[in-house]
Amino acid sequence: MKNLKTIIFTACALFSLGAVASTEHTTVQGDHGKLDVVIQRPDNDAANGNGSQAKAKTKAGKKTPLLVLCHGFGGNKEGKLFDCLVDSLNKKGIAVIRFDFNGHGKSEGKFEDMTVLNEIEDAKCILRYASSLPWVNKIAMGGHSQGGVVTAMTSGQLVAQADKDIKKIQAVVLLAPAAVLRDDALRGNTFGKMYDPKNPPAKIEMWDGKALGGNYIRTATTLPIYETAKNYHGAECILHGDADRVVPYTYGQRFHYLNKKSEWHLMTDADHGFGGQEEQAAHIASDFLAKVLK
């Protein structure tokens, strides 16, 4: 597999299926450096071998649908919400790729150089890589918060401008999609950090020593989020909490209004990260993906 740095297979029981799951660690070249990637796969055949034996089994074995999962602003590919979603999907026979965007987690790049636009390019790099995997038959995209915006815009862009190296996106999952980020930038207030939106500084100090670059603000103020997302008319599942104080649920609901094939789930008392309701959110999303992809 191209760009493969290290492969670590971790066998674990999937209680509902009695299957074997495998975890692969790799890197993929992104828009601003190498992206740290983890593939978690319900790999009944290839997980039990390696080298030529694994390749033979993969070729002969059943192909698997896969979800490309995008994290939010300032986050990374780890966390309970994503762990629950991966576990639920693996139990249903669906693989997951999760990765850190440029300037986040273990990926290369500087946080201050990150923009939604270059995260979209990162996502496309991951989609091309996923599309090249011989055991993948169908691809879906999912994302939380800013990762939801990246997912919605990427899926819309790929409809308008198809990429021959990327398989068709069969399904989309948006978890508290943060389309509010454009309005926040126009107001000059990103996570409580104030600035002049018409003349943003070169850097905006955030937290943990991170600084947000002025280019993030300049691109965010004109970001065509819904205008791009509306091009995607395929299967879509949108989850949002009515107690979300970071991104009001109406921002997620608007994605639902744009797509007649979408499902809308407003979760009672759920916050932006679905704290305490991660398993419930994961089950809703995984049931939807299993219905569409399997």
Take residue 293 and report the two structure tokens written for it. Answer: 């992809």
pLDDT tens figures, 120-148: 999 999 999 999 999 999 999 999 999 99
* Number of CB atoms found within 10 A of residue 135's CB: 17
**What pLDDT sits at residue 19?**
45
Separation between Cα atoms, residue 293 and residue 174, nearest integer Å: 16
- End-to-end distance of the chain based on CA atoms, in angstroms? 25
Asked whether the predicted pLDDT for residue 15 surpasses 60, the reply is no
> Is residue 17 very low, low, confident or very high in pLDDT (cuts 50, 70, 90)?
very low
Which whole number is the average pLDDT over 65-72? 98
**What pLDDT sits at residue 43?**
65
Degrees, nearest 5: CA angle 234-115-285: 35
C-alpha neighbours within 13 Å on the C-beta side of residue 79: 21
Degrees, nearest 5: CA angle 240-197-232: 40
Indicate the SS3 state at residue 112: helix
> Is residue 21 very low, low, confident or very high in pLDDT (cuts 50, 70, 90)?
confident
Across the strands, what pairs with 95? Answer: 66
Across the strands, what pairs with 14? Answer: 19
Asked whether the predicted pLDDT for residue 239 surpasses 90, the reply is yes
Which whole number is the average pLDDT over 75-88? 98
pLDDT tens figures, 32-47: 999 999 999 996 543 3
**CA-based max dimension of the chain:** 59
166 Cβ neighbours under 8 A, 6+ residues apart: 124, 127, 128, 131, 139, 158
Nearest to 255 by CA among 276, 273, 228, 218: 228
- Beta carbons of 146 and 262 less than 8 angstroms apart: no
Which whole number is the average pLDDT over 248-277? 98
* Number of CB atoms found within 10 A of residue 9's CB: 17
Q: Which of 3-12, 72-81, 83-92, 163-172 has the lowest mean pLDDT?
A: 3-12
**What pLDDT sits at residue 53?**
34
Which CATH topology does 13-179+227-293 take? Rossmann fold (3.40.50)
CA 207 to mean position of chain CA atoms: 23
Which whole number is the average pLDDT over 14-42? 82
Which whole number is the average pLDDT over 267-292? 98
Asked whether the predicted pLDDT for residue 4 surpasses 90, the reply is no
Query: Is the pTM of the predicted complex or chain greater than 0.75?
Result: yes
Percentage of the residues of the chain whose pLDDT score is greater than 90 = 85
Asked whether the predicted pLDDT for residue 117 surpasses 90, the reply is yes
Which whole number is the average pLDDT over 164-191? 98
> Is residue 62 very low, low, confident or very high in pLDDT (cuts 50, 70, 90)?
confident
